[in-house]
Chains A and B, each alone.
Chain A
Amino acid sequence: MPTRTYSQAINDALAEEMQRDENVILYGQDVAVWGGIFKVTDGLLEKFGPDRVFDTPISESVMVGAGVGAASMGLRPVVELQFADFVITAGDEIFFKAGMWRYMHGGAHTIPLVVRAPSGGSGFGPEHSACPEAFIMHAPGLLCAVPSTPEDAKGLLKQAIRLDNPVIYFEHKLLYQMRGEVPDGEVLTPFGKAVVRREGEAVTLVAWQGMLRRALAAAERLSQEGIEVEIVDPRTLNPFDRETIIESVKKTGACIVVEEAYRTLGVGAEIGALLVEEALPYLDKPFKRLAIPDVPIPTSQHLVDAIVPSVDDIYRAVKDLVD
């Protein structure tokens, strides 16, 4: 199988879908001529021309809002927000227009819109480093993808472009250069199907993107001590694959969610509530969250390291729970 970087996989997905369907258009700040500030869309302008790949002014509201209008009229826009934090900047357009325009008009419109949102990482400061997927998961009408591997980056994006509902597609900035196998031919990853990245009995870890990599590293260390954890990667947060997590917890009796986001009312809080509502008789240990304490994400790396869950944090949390 060929290997591609996460970034190349996204570029491949865009190119393939634009080739397949002329209604797919791609725009955002600096995406065309410059190829995107993270160079994810490099070369697409040359392939598909300025009518389908174009730059926009610094106008997040109209970027997303126009995406809703264009989608309702039959185009399949893919909009790149330069940073995922800007889903808040375009809040009216994301939450009300993309999320509710169809519902508010009694189903008269379909909104096949994809908003690509580079999330996470560090060194960018409080307004450029967040993983705001919990905001999206909380809102009705918005699908939410969080690919963690090049294969899923490609498969989820291609699937997202084909869905008739708005998708907020979070690309983790620290994964762009991650290399991984991507199968030849059509790669489509279904929404709402989590994947078990590692099997074990001791505890269920739920993690995705940057935190998944750390969870896997911690699992390797724990395994050397005879502790086998199970790691579930949800892949999409809406729709959310409740069954896979519940099945895993039935086996392990314990669950830790690791997320690169604020702790209070995060995705982990939702998973905790889900387990209490639907899997309480199987929980043998307190449910745990590893998340960013409720402070903004600072710029300096060592300060970021002080608040974002690390491999050590995950390792210790598992040890504390199983000992």
Chain B
Amino acid sequence: MQNTKVLMPKLGQAMTEGVVMQWHRKDGERVAAGDLLVTVETDKATYDLEATASGTLHVVVPEGEEVPIHTVIAEIGDAPVQAGTASAPPAAEPVVQPQKASRPGRILASPKAKRLAAEHGIDLSTLTPSSADSVLSAADVERAAENAVADQPPAAAAHIASRRTERERHPLTGIRKAAARRVQAAWQTIPHIVQMVDVDASGLQAIRERLRTDISELTLNDLILSAAARVLAGLPDLNGTVENEELILYDGVDIGFAVDSPRGLLVPVIRGAHDLSITQLVRERQRLVEAARAGQLQPADRGPASLTVSNLGMFGIRAGTPVINLGEPILVFVGAVEERPVVHNGQIVARPMLTLSIAYDHRVADGVAASRLSQGLKEALEDLDSKSLLEIPNPQSPTPSPQEALGKREVRSVSAGGRYAVQVRSHGHVWSLDEPASDGGEDTGPDPVTAFLGALLSCMTIAFKAAARRRKITIERIAGHAKAPPKGQVKEIALTLAVWSAASEQDLQTLLERAKRGCYVSGLLKPDIRLTVELVRHVPDAV
């Protein structure tokens, strides 16, 4: 009978490796199903695994070693342990060393591997092929991207180290090793920009005092978490990450915060923080802190977050250049609140001030976009309103919901500061409208009339195609043009649809009549606005 294998579990989406912390039973001991077997640790938390079968325990991976997920760490049963089961595929030694000597300067890699390496910023010459043909594969690059840490210290560092008297040497394990790897990957792959903004904390302090009578556990940091969540919810373009040259935007705002635990620094996440009242947020924060300290954070309690707040104010730090957590776009570093001389109404006065040092992933946020959050957060913190803090921001969803449920024909908009630019959001789409610089805007999107012309033209096109679909008429292509006078009130709009189809002119004209009736957007026009729609027929040449 075959032994039952004990595997390193995958305890979260981001988990790729885990550390065997402690075997609770000894190698060779008999165990029964349900016995506490082993404690494993990921970068964020520890887990106790129970035996799933009865029999003799054969420990494969000793304590302190880190292995990839799904690696066999032990077997339970009476059959001998098969050699080689311990070595996980990614750790396998290359069968053949690359023959670099024969082709100096040329690195053999598959085209896909080259593309991935370029995307991850990985130098192919640092990799070793795992396949017998000595050609680097996509899997080699992906593995390297996951590890994203050089196993060898740089040569220069090694040289210096050799001239110093070495006292002790400790291999990094567990959380420290994982944290080191993640922070290095973050530093290497995320182009950081940091903005620092001073916040007058007097309002913040006052509000905390006022609310503390009802919420005794309320901290200054809770107010910052809440404000950050609400400001970010209004800037959906910043709630995203860049992966493989794609910008991925997320619904809902999840806020991470750092907690010092016996196992090191952990970052639990408050899900849907933008939809929580301050009371709900404090309760959730307390739960997470306790879980983190007890090593009982669940996978759903951990990152990645939309934004993480790190507060080292208690150590008197004023500002810093924080490193963003891997997989997240923003980290808000909160400095100490201190009395500083500030100029207020022409007088130098002492005010309680704090500095926010906010790091952004520059691929997600350009300087202007980042400034919107920095400025918005400052304004929100200086003008906190206890009433709105106590309310649940989205009354339709009394329970926190990570998904914002916007239906069809429902949009939200937000426009920050003194700018014209308006961001519009529907379910799953975000776009901007603005005015050109000549009209006082910044041209971050089309002006509203132009955008409307786009909607009108698209609606007419879609209605035309829908009519064609119903009549089973094949339309190869439609090119449209819409134009209104460039200035002032719109009184007339001219639309042209150029249609490539083998169908007769008469059939197409019939479709156009249907399309005019089916186009709801044109129905939004006032009756005194003259709308002309012209059809131009092209007979397609190809099949």
Contact = CB atoms under 8 A, between A and B. Distances in A.
A contacts B directly (C-beta below 8 A): yes
Nearest to A239: B543
B543 A284 contact: no
B192 interface: no
B525 to A, nearest CB: 38
B543 A192 contact: yes
B25 interface: no
A192 B474 CA distance: 15
A285 interface: yes
Contact of B111 (A163, A191, A280): A280
Interface in B217-233: none
Most chain A beta carbons < 10 A, residue from B110, B113, B115, B137: B110
A283 B543 contact: no
A191 B111 CA distance: 32
A253 interface: yes
Interface in B105-120: 110-115
A280 B138 CA distance: 13
A285 B132 CA distance: 13
A283 B137 CA distance: 10
A316 to B, nearest CB: 16
Contact of B543 (A191, A253, A282, A285): A191
Contacts of B112: 253, 281-284
A103 to B, nearest CB: 11
Interface string B127-159: 000000000011100000000000000000000
B543 A163 contact: yes
Contacts of A7: none
Contacts of A280: 111
A281 B119 CA distance: 11
B111 A281 contact: yes
A310 interface: no
A11 interface: no
A29 interface: no
Interface string A215-230: 0000000000000000
B342 to A, nearest CB: 55
Interface in A154-181: 163, 165
Nearest to B138: A284
Q: How large is the interface on A (under 10, 10 to 19, 20 to 34, 35 or more residues)?
A: 10 to 19
A239 B112 CA distance: 28
A306 B115 CA distance: 39
B94 to A, nearest CB: 15
Contacts of A253: 110, 112, 138
A246 to B, nearest CB: 13
Contacts of B111: 280-284
A161 B503 CA distance: 18
B114 A281 contact: yes
A255 to B, nearest CB: 12
Contacts of A239: 543
Nearest to B109: A284
B340 to A, nearest CB: 54
Contact of B110 (A143, A163, A285): A285
Contacts of B110: 253, 283-285
Contacts of A163: 543
Contacts of A281: 111-112, 114-115
Contacts of A285: 110, 137
Nearest to A163: B543
Contacts of A283: 110-112
B137 A284 contact: yes
Nearest to A285: B110
A27 B138 CA distance: 54
Interface in A187-223: 191-192
A302 B138 CA distance: 41
Nearest to A253: B112
Contacts of A143: 543
A320 B327 CA distance: 36
Contacts of B137: 284-285
A57 B519 CA distance: 59
Interface string B455-487: 000000000000000000000000000000000
A282 B112 CA distance: 5
A102 to B, nearest CB: 11
Most chain B beta carbons < 10 A, residue from A143, A165, A239, A285: A285
Interface in B245-265: none
A76 to B, nearest CB: 16
Contacts of B115: 281-282
A133 to B, nearest CB: 17
A239 B110 CA distance: 30
Most chain B beta carbons < 10 A, residue from A163, A165, A191, A283: A283
Interface in A268-319: 280-285
A283 B139 CA distance: 12
A191 B112 CA distance: 31
A104 B61 CA distance: 76
A301 B543 CA distance: 40
Contacts of B114: 281
B297 to A, nearest CB: 33
Contacts of B139: 284
A283 B114 CA distance: 10
Contacts of B113: 284
A219 B427 CA distance: 41
Interface string A239-254: 1000000000000010
A192 B137 CA distance: 33
Nearest to A282: B112
B539 to A, nearest CB: 10
B76 to A, nearest CB: 24
A282 B114 CA distance: 9
A285 B111 CA distance: 8
A165 B115 CA distance: 41
Most chain B beta carbons < 10 A, residue from A192, A280, A281, A284: A284
Nearest to A283: B111
A285 B135 CA distance: 9
A165 B543 CA distance: 8
A19 to B, nearest CB: 20
A239 B476 CA distance: 15
A190 B153 CA distance: 60
Contacts of B543: 143, 163, 165, 191-192, 239
Nearest to B137: A284
Nearest to B112: A284
A261 B312 CA distance: 72
Interface string B332-344: 0000000000000
The 6 A-B residue pairs with the shortest CB-CB distance in the complex, in nearest-first order: A281-B115, A284-B112, A284-B138, A284-B110, A280-B111, A283-B111
18 contacts: A165-B543, A191-B543, A192-B543, A253-B112, A280-B111, A281-B111, A281-B114, A281-B115, A282-B112, A282-B115, A283-B110, A283-B111, A284-B110, A284-B112, A284-B137, A284-B138, A284-B139, A285-B137
Interface of A: 143, 163, 165, 191-192, 239, 253, 280-285
Given A143-B543, A280-B111, A283-B112, 7 more contacts: A191-B543, A192-B543, A253-B110, A281-B114, A281-B115, A282-B111, A283-B110
